[in-house]
Amino acid sequence: MNRPRVVIAGMGFGGLFAFHRLAKKPVDLVLVDRHNYHAFVPLFYQVAAAELEPVEIAYPIRTFLRRRPQAAFFMAEVRGVDLQGKKLLTSEGDVPYDVLILGLGSETSFFGLPGVKEHAFTVKSLAQALTLRNHILTLFERAAWGKGPHEEGLLTFVIAGGGPTGVELAATLAEWIREVLVKDYPPSVMERARIILVEAADRILPGLPEGQAAYAQRVLTRLGVDVRTQTPIAGADKGRVLLKEGPPIPTQTLIWTAGVKGSPVGETLGLSLARGGRIPVNEYLQLPGHPEVYVVGDLAYLEDGHGRALPQVAPVAIQEGRHAAGNVLRSLEGKPPLPFRYKDPGVLLSIGRGRGVARIGKIHLQGFPAWLAWAFVHIAQLVGFRNRVYVLSGWFWNFLFTDRIRLILPGGREPAS
Amino acid sequence: MNRPRVVIAGMGFGGLFAFHRLAKKPVDLVLVDRHNYHAFVPLFYQVAAAELEPVEIAYPIRTFLRRRPQAAFFMAEVRGVDLQGKKLLTSEGDVPYDVLILGLGSETSFFGLPGVKEHAFTVKSLAQALTLRNHILTLFERAAWGKGPHEEGLLTFVIAGGGPTGVELAATLAEWIREVLVKDYPPSVMERARIILVEAADRILPGLPEGQAAYAQRVLTRLGVDVRTQTPIAGADKGRVLLKEGPPIPTQTLIWTAGVKGSPVGETLGLSLARGGRIPVNEYLQLPGHPEVYVVGDLAYLEDGHGRALPQVAPVAIQEGRHAAGNVLRSLEGKPPLPFRYKDPGVLLSIGRGRGVARIGKIHLQGFPAWLAWAFVHIAQLVGFRNRVYVLSGWFWNFLFTDRIRLILPGGREPAS
């Protein structure tokens, strides 16, 4: 019997855990990703706020493949899927498959608000996080020139979205500015710095109990973050964020964390997509009519028993990736697939250093115990011993010396000089 | 008496050591640099070869300024000097000075060879080093697609220049490929990889005794580097390096380490420059006719007692920076300046892991003792405890596990997604 060729497109959490389950099984594995690393998305915001370096939360995909001659990796941008011809279409060429596991994730959704896509910063990739960090530091350097009041809002940082990413980013950004950058810049610069967290709904953290959200808001306020709920954004243009009501906010920095949508590859399949550009799958995580194609993670749309969409978070992707791989193995053994049931492990959130909110099963925590749980789980889920050591020692150093990396270090092509 | 305003333009080795000497003296200090960090240039090639991360060899300039209210930093590109008006001209505005210390360093010189500037990679900045690293890894990923022989020279890496940078880079690049990347890519990819070191003169390392250069060449050859002396380059175009004699070399990667010239700011001064675009200074390191302007480091041109130009290396810059600052202090005390005398501390070179050549005073070393001296001096000269720990532990990790960072991690602006 021929070994089936299983292609995993996207090495986020879904793809990674599917790979782990299949790595030692009698299948030919082909991994495809636009990057040559698996990155730990839940800590991207800490890269933006100079708490961590990209290298500390990325892991080379090829390291997984060592001593696995039956597995290969191809770096390419996925462009679409030829469902009839059973080929993954990529920027570098076609990749034929017998079984396909699609875990291409999500990208930022700007909801078509005018000017937002053009002017907003995002934290959905390591490059974007670095770009935002460099932008913030460059603004502080510009402010140090003291060019005065005509650059209104130069150090006003507007974070759109009161979900987990917006809250975590606002807190660590506030600590970075108030505790570290304050040692570097004169008071005339520091007094211009402000952080505004803007949320359209009437409260932040809608996924958490109200008491925990209120605690988070108190912490943010104590850190000097101006939390504005019921404040929908209408758009953006150069130097301003426009609100549905009230005067615009002068700013050079709109950070958009307010929404995601499924990878645009979903639109190329010729299917009718669910809300947010997600691909509806059956309870086995298969594409209807194509049992050889599984979709996992942010890109997949599946409802729980109560008609609610599963959230676009790491635990869903991890469990779906594992489950899809399990169903692939069952089908090889001639067994019917098993339906997917999501086991909600809870929610963990850090709100600056040493504070957090957590729900673990039925237990609710806040403050330091929640932060400890958060730190433990995040370190445990990082891939690679070296990365764990670096992240832990980086956090410890920053804590001990109230320090952060403050280098403006763009990569990418720069003209030879 | 008014405190004089001393402006230090460029925070390389020259500017840094001038700053250290002046930091606690009764002067108002203004530092100007295009980056917000001091970077350790002698290890840039290790960033290119994924041995080190940029963050490990860069140090925030503002950290030097903490608890020094009489010192300020402005991030800007220096465009020129108004010698009459005593103003430094920058991309962000003018900076008036009473005393100016110019340490703007050098940039790559392509000697006007056609196509080289357009097609060559360089390692004169951290961004350039990262760009080169990402390019090399991307080529390996492209080769893994196995697109075959029409991409001739896809994994041929041509290093132009048999000086210290070329030799050190060739060795560590060879080890990276032969010892680390070999674990990641199949033999069909690895057998296409080759490194060619091209030097116009009849030997490599002209600054070293012939025996040491011969040793270095033996080590390179053992590492699989194809060392070609007496091979002047005529130019480059897309996919090829053109030689003065013989057939062109098909390659996607020409790394140019063959020459430097003084910062282009020199040309704006309206003076006649010395060879290599360097600014001639008097024995006090002052601009002739402008005793309030000092030039130090790669940009300065000064001869030793035997009519030879001082080399463009870190020890010269360090000693000149210190000396210029010393003369500034003497003039404040009404004393005449002292002439500069270079004390040559020797040469240290690593040729891959655990091998090197060294001249320390009159002692010549090669092999492991030379490497040890090299490592010790480089760690000692790094700025910052954290950087020293990171570089040392990075080297140790890489040695222990025959590992390197292998992530393609561009920074810079990426479209929001």
Write the single-letter amino acid at A4. P
Give yes or no for residue B311 having a pLDDT over 70.
Answer: yes
Using a CB–CB cutoff of 8 Å, tell me whether B185 touches chain A. Answer: yes
For A329-342, what is the mean pLDDT? 97
**Which pLDDT band holds residue B342 (cuts at 50, 70, 90)?**
very high
Query: Between residues B385 and A157, which one has the greater pLDDT?
Result: A157
pLDDT at residue A97 is higher than 90: yes
DSSP letter for each residue of A248-261: PEE-SEEEE-S-EE
**pLDDT tier at B150, thresholds 50, 70, 90:** low
- Using a CB–CB cutoff of 8 Å, tell me whether A375 touches chain B: no
Give the minimum alpha-carbon distance from B404 to chain A in angstroms, rounded to a whole number: 10
Q: Which helix (H) or strand (E) holds B240?
A: strand B240-243
Q: Do A53 and B58 touch (CB under 8 A)?
A: no
- DSSP of A167-178: HHHHHHHHHIII
Q: How far apart are CA A124 and CA A260, in angstroms?
A: 9
Average pLDDT over residues A198-203: 97
Which among A37, A121, A409 has CB closest to B411? Answer: A409
Distance from CA of A276 to the nearest CA of B (A): 14
Q: Please, which pLDDT band fits residue A1 given cuts at 50, 70 and 90?
A: low
In the predicted structure, residue A414 carries a pLDDT above the cut 60:
no
Which residues of chain B are within 8 Å of residue A410 when distances are taken between CB atoms? 127, 411-412
Average pLDDT, chain B: 94
Put simply, whether B122 touches A (Cβ < 8 Å) is: yes
pLDDT at position A173:
98
- Report in angstroms the alpha-carbon separations of B124 from A409, B201, B310, B339, B360: 14, 22, 20, 30, 26
Inter-chain Cβ pairs, chain A and chain B, closer than 8 A: 164
Interchain contact, A127 vs B410, CB within 8 Å: yes
Residue A285 confidence (pLDDT) = 98
Tell me, yes or no, if B405 comes closer than 8 A to chain A by beta carbon.
yes
Yes or no, beta carbons of B397 and A412 under 8 Å apart? no
Measuring CA to CA, which residue among B172, B224, B196, B165 is closest to residue B353? B172
Residues B395/B378, Cβ–Cβ less than 8 Å? no
Instruction: Judge if pTM exceeds 0.90.
Output: yes
φ and ψ at residue B381, rounded to 5 degrees: -85, -15
* Binary contact (A145, B72; C-beta < 8 A): no
What was the pLDDT predicted at B411? 53
Whether the pLDDT of residue B413 is over 70: the answer is no
Whole-number pLDDT of residue A412: 36
Categorize the per-residue pLDDT at B110 as very low, low, confident or very high, splitting at 50, 70 and 90.
Answer: very high
Q: pLDDT tens across B370-384, in order? A: 999 999 999 999 998
Q: How far is the C-alpha of B88 from the C-alpha of B111, rounded, in Å? A: 29
Per-residue pLDDT tens for A2-43? 799 999 999 999 999 999 999 999 999 999 999 999 999 999
Answer whether A141 sits within 8 Å of B117, measured CB to CB. no
- Decide if A60 touches B, using CB distance below 8 A: yes
Contact B29, B19 (CB under 8 A): yes
Average pLDDT (B47-73) is: 93
Residue B410 has pLDDT above 80, yes or no: no
Say what percent of chain A tops pLDDT 70: 97
For A33, the closest chain B residue by CA position comes to B141
A259 vs A413, higher pLDDT: A259
| Pairwise CA distance, residues A85 & A38, whole Å | 28
* A398 → chain B, closest CA residue: B386
ipTM of the complex as predicted: 0.93
B338 and chain A in contact, CB less than 8 A: no
**Residues A235-289: pLDDT tens digits?**
999 999 999 999 999 999 999 999 999 999 999 999 999 999 999 999 999 999 9
pLDDT tens across A174-196, in order?
A: 999 999 999 999 999 999 999 99
Q: Which residue did the predictor score with more confidence, A147 or B386?
A: B386
- Considering only CB atoms, which chain B residues are within 8 Å of A183? 66
pLDDT band at A413 (very low <50, low <70, confident <90, very high): very low
Question: Which chain B residue shows the shortest CA-CA distance from A183?
Answer: B66
Type of residue at B399: F
pLDDT computed for residue B1 by the predictor: 55
The partner residue sitting opposite A35, judged by closest CB among B54, B55, B408, is: B408
Residue A150 pLDDT grade (very low, low, confident, very high; cuts 50, 70, 90):
low
Q: In the predicted model, is pLDDT for residue B263 greater than 90?
A: yes
Q: Are B297 and B14 in contact (CB under 8 A)?
A: yes
Using alpha carbons only, what angle is made at residue B302 by residues B297 and B304, rounded to the nearest 5 degrees? 115
- With a cut of 80, say whether residue B362 has pLDDT above it: yes
Residue (of A153, A195, A204) closest to A174 by Cα position: A195
- Please tell me which residue in B53, B56, B168, B199 is annotated as part of the active site: B168
> Which of A63, A184, A411 shows the shortest C-beta gap to B127?
A411
CB atoms within 10 A of CB B134: 20
Take residue A398 and report the two structure tokens written for it: 């920053």
Residue with the bigger pLDDT between B314 and B413: it is: B314
For residue B2, is pLDDT > 60? yes
Of B390 and B150, which is predicted with more confidence? Answer: B390
- B63: closest chain A residue by CA: A184
Per-residue pLDDT band for B414 (boundaries 50, 70, 90) equals very low
Catalytic residue status for B151:
no
Give the mean model confidence (pLDDT) for residues A110-131.
95
Q: What is the mean pLDDT of chain A?
A: 94
CA atoms within 13 A on the CB side of B380: 6
Q: Does B72 touch chain A (CB under 8 A)?
A: yes
Return the pLDDT at A411. Answer: 53
Nearest to A417 by CA among B201, B109, B112: B109
